[in-house]
Structure 1
Amino acid sequence: MNSTATHQTLAVALDDLEVSLRALQWWQEQSPPAQALASTQPFALDTLRFPQWLQFLFIPKLKALADNANPLPGNCSVAPMAEEYCRAQGVSAPALVSQLQMIDRLLTQ
């Protein structure tokens, strides 16, 4: 897949990810405080719940890269974290996990 197609595919996948987060009622209208978004921990585990990290850090950063056709990360492995989070919450979210698996594959090509 060429770079432009990859960026377009990623943009669509991120939109689909937002739809899944909304369907699970994990999308929130208000942003967490700035200090919560400034975490340096993986997935901002010390300040955000996993869906917040997806919504306020992961999606916006990748969307900006895709929209501006900037270089994309060469490796991504977020789906396992989603599986673990969903298991811990007792939530079945196959669409969310599947979309993250697709994004992981897209970015790890």
Structure 2
Amino acid sequence: MSATVHHLLLTIENELNTLGWWQDEPPPPGALQSTQPFCLDTLSLPQWLQFVLLPRLRDLLAAGLPLPARIAVYPMATESMKGAPEETSALLEAIAQLDETLTGLPVEREA
């Protein structure tokens, strides 16, 4: 499973780059201290993916620690990307696959 998760993390990173959403500079440290789910009050979802989710999962993989078994990023991603002018289907699919891989449960895709 770790190879699959690693591949999906790379795919998410590549899609963020393709969409022009990858940032060279991190947000201010205080933005990462949010107590809200997905740092909703301080970060955009692409920022949360880049600066919170990807690093945490990569750290867990590198340390050989258990990965989360309860994760539901796809519903938040579909909601936050409604109305986005860019083509986000590949990013959303990679996020759905990550949710499925970690939970072992199918994700209901948006139509």
TM-score, length-scaled by structure 1: 0.90
Identical columns (%): 41
From 68, 74, 84, give the equivalent of 1:89. Answer: 84
- Tell me which protein shows more helix as a share of its residues: 1
Runs of 4+ in 1 over 4 A off after TM superposition: none
The answer to whether structure 1 residue 107 and structure 2 residue 107 are counterparts is: no
Gaps of 5+ in 1: 1-5
1:3 is matched with none
Q: 1:39 aligns with which of 24, 34, 37?
A: 34
| Structure 2 unmatched ranges of 5 or more | 105-111
Following superposition, the deviation at residue 89 of structure 1 comes to 2.8
Q: How many residues align?
A: 104
3-state secondary structure, aligned to 2:95: helix
- Cα-Cα RMSD: 1.0
Report deviation, 1:9.
Answer: 1.1
Amino acid at match of 1:54: L
Give TM-score, length-normalised by structure 2.
0.89
